[in-house]
């Protein structure tokens, strides 16, 4: 119940805040997700330290902040920034212990790609599309409804575990309920004309399917990385290392997949 109570409190405060920020857009939206990326990245590096790796915690997390702001201010400079950061991180190998340099740099890059780079797609979706606001509203709604239904149905009706070695709490019924929830959510968006005008009903449905499946896949991916570093009990994480990672895990995969989908739709429309 501790878990559920914390979840609900975060949702009651967090969801309206994110919706408002998404509506307003601008630097406040960017700043919000920059904080999420930064805290998540630090959390991930702290988890890696438990496994005796020494990622460049501060430097790589600061690079994450630079990345997120560049996505907002200079999106067309992201590729050049990527090359710059890559050159710097490899050169950093010259100033470290040779033993373990490769894996520490690899873990640093991993955290950067998994968190700020993946989350920056939210900024690119919001400001890179004429209908960025409604794309994000639909994305957030679909993923949250999916998560909540998966959680509730999994607790109440779920028996059969879907992947007990990765995420013991997840059930088959919960996952299906999540996908159905995402499909219903986007359908309601379409009926109410909240979905982007440029998208057909079929395209909206596929959007929901992608949110439902890859959002949940994002949960599992995060669980894999967390368990690999030896952190098993998710409930203790909420108040400690990994809290932000746990809260936004669906987006680390869900957001880039929707970014790819919207890029594809833009491409076929042009």
Question: How far apart (Å, rounded) are the C-alpha atoms in residues 220 and 10?
Answer: 21
Based on CB atoms, which residue is closest to its own copies, 96 or 161? 96
Based on CB atoms, which residue is closest to its own copies, 7 or 227? 227
Please report, in angstroms and rounded to a whole number, the separation of the first and last CA atoms in the chain.
50
Handedness of CA 242, 153, 14, 191 (dihedral sign): positive
Based on CB atoms, which residue is closest to its own copies, 66 or 163? 163
**DSSP string spanning 132-174?**
HHHHHHHHHHHHHHHHHHHHHHHHHT--SBS-TTT-TT-BHHH
Rounded to a whole number of angstroms, the minimum distance from the CB of residue 218 to its own copies is 8
Rounded to a whole number of angstroms, the minimum distance from the CB of residue 140 to its own copies is 19
Rounded to a whole number of angstroms, the minimum distance from the CB of residue 103 to its own copies is 6
Question: With contact defined as beta carbons under 8 Å apart, do 228 and 34 qualify?
Answer: no
Based on CB atoms, which residue is closest to its own copies, 154 or 256? 256
Query: What does the binding site for its own copies look like in residue numbers (CB under 8 A)?
Result: 48, 51, 53, 78-80, 82-84, 86-87, 90-91, 93-94, 96, 98-103, 105-107, 109-110, 113-114, 117-118, 121, 163, 165-166, 214, 217, 220-221, 224-225, 227-229, 252-253, 256-257, 259-260, 263
Rounded to a whole number of angstroms, the minimum distance from the CB of residue 62 to its own copies is 18
Based on CB atoms, which residue is closest to its own copies, 40 or 190? 40
**DSSP string spanning 216-262?**
HHHHHHHHHHHHHTT---HHHHTTSTTHHHHHHHHHHHHHHHHHHHH
Rounded to a whole number of angstroms, the minimum distance from the CB of residue 163 to its own copies is 8
Handedness of CA 209, 75, 41, 51 (dihedral sign): positive
Based on CB atoms, which residue is closest to its own copies, 141 or 162? 162
Rounded to a whole number of angstroms, the minimum distance from the CB of residue 84 to its own copies is 6
Residue 194 DSSP one-character state: -
Question: How far apart (Å, rounded) are the C-alpha atoms in residues 158 and 145?
Answer: 17
């Amino acid at each position: 119940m501790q878990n559920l109570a914390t979840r609900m409190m975060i949702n009651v405060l967090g969801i309206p805040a994110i919706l408002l920020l998404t509506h307003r857009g601008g630097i406040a939206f960017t700043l919000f997700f920059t904080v999420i990326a930064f805290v998540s990245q630090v959390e991930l590096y702290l988890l890696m330290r438990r496994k005796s790796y020494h990622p460049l915690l501060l430097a790589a997390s600061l690079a994450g902040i630079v990345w997120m702001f560049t996505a907002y201010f200079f999106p067309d400079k992201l590729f050049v920034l990527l090359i710059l950061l890559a050159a710097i991180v490899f050169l950093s190998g010259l100033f470290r212990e040779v033993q373990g340099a490769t894996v520490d740099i690899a873990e640093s890059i991993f955290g950067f790609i998994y968190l700020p780079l993946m989350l920056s797609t939210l900024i690119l979706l919001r400001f890179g599309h004429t209908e960025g606001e409604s794309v994000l509203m639909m994305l957030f709604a679909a993923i949250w409804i999916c998560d909540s239904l998966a959680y509730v149905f999994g607790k109440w009706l779920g028996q059969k575990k879907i992947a007990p070695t990765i995420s013991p709490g997840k059930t088959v019924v919960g996952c299906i309920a999540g996908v159905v929830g995402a499909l219903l959510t986007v359908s309601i968006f379409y009926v109410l004309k909240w979905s982007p005008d440029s998208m057909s009903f079929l395209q909206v449905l596929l959007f929901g399917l992608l949110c439902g499946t890859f959002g949940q896949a994002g949960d599992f991916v995060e669980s894999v990385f967390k368990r690999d570093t030896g952190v098993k009990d998710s409930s203790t994480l909420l108040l400690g290392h990994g809290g932000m990672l746990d809260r936004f895990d669906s987006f680390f995969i869900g957001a880039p997949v929707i970014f790819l989908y919207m890029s594809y739709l833009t491409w076929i429309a042009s």
